[in-house]
Chain A
Amino acid sequence: SQKIEQNSEALNIQEGKTATLTCNYTNYSPAYLQWYRQDPGRGPVFLLLIRENEKEKRKERLKVTFDTTLKQSLFHITASQPADSATYLCALDEYNQGGKLIFGQGTELSVKP
């Protein structure tokens, strides 16, 4: 079956360290991947999009990589802060046509001061 998997266990790191979150997928050939942040009691908020022909994308302290051979995307937060604590979701478009984003179950990140 088609699946997206993220680290199911919560990730606890110390402030200032780099957090690395993993998103693996099977049976898809996505043209792009999106990453979202979700805070408790709120809807997901879009962070970054990376296309299949882009190895890496950066936005401030965020970096996303996309390896279509490994079928994996990595999401990095450098110099992490307690305010980065949230659940991070990866998503891909099942048909690459827009309109049907499939989400992973998310990884909960906790950054301790």
Chain B
Amino acid sequence: DTAVSQTPKYLVTQMGNDKSIKCEQNLGHDTMYWYKQDSKKFLKIMFSYNNKELIINETVPNRFSPKSPDKAHLNLHINSLELGDSAVYFCASSHPRESSPLHFGNGTRLTVT
């Protein structure tokens, strides 16, 4: 069973469209995250939710809106997609305590044309 699964794996869309990426974890973790990995492989945190509550909201455009319907799911909705949004988006989960390792999904490669 996949611990952290995200869909779709690939997403190709045009500028201006709205798209969503879904993430689910079956590890029983309370904390979930969205990270963005750019073309230079830098992984940057975007959002963190703990038990459905937003904990971290980095400097991310308002066009990005996370939604956590329950603690096992964290979806990412992106409005008015721009070329610069092209990247790989990773969902992750962990226990909320300090030093807990992150468990990542396999990423969603978003290409905006």
Contact = CB atoms under 8 A, between A and B. Distances in A.
B43 A44 contact: yes
A93 interface: yes
A46 B42 contact: no
A37 to B, nearest CB: 11
A98 B107 contact: no
Contact of A99 (B56, B90, B105): B56
Interface residues of A, number: 25
Interface string A48-63: 0101000000000000
B111 interface: no
B37 to A, nearest CB: 9
B55 to A, nearest CB: 6
Interface in A12-38: 31-32, 34, 36
Contact of A101 (B42, B96, B102, B106): B102
Given A100-B45, A100-B56, A103-B43, A41 B99 contact: no
B38 to A, nearest CB: 10
B51 interface: no
A93 B100 CA distance: 10
Interface in B1-57: 4, 31, 40-45, 48, 50, 55-56
A93 B55 contact: no
A68 interface: no
Q: Top 4 nearest A-B pairs by Cβ distance?
A: A43-B104, A46-B101, A98-B98, A103-B43
15 contacts: A34-B101, A42-B107, A46-B102, A49-B99, A51-B99, A98-B31, A98-B96, A98-B97, A99-B31, A99-B50, A101-B102, A103-B42, A103-B43, A103-B44, A106-B41
Given A36-B102, A43-B92, 20 more contacts: A31-B98, A34-B99, A42-B106, A43-B4, A44-B104, A46-B103, A93-B98, A96-B98, A97-B98, A98-B94, A98-B97, A98-B99, A98-B100, A99-B31, A99-B48, A100-B56, A103-B43, A103-B44, A105-B41, A106-B41
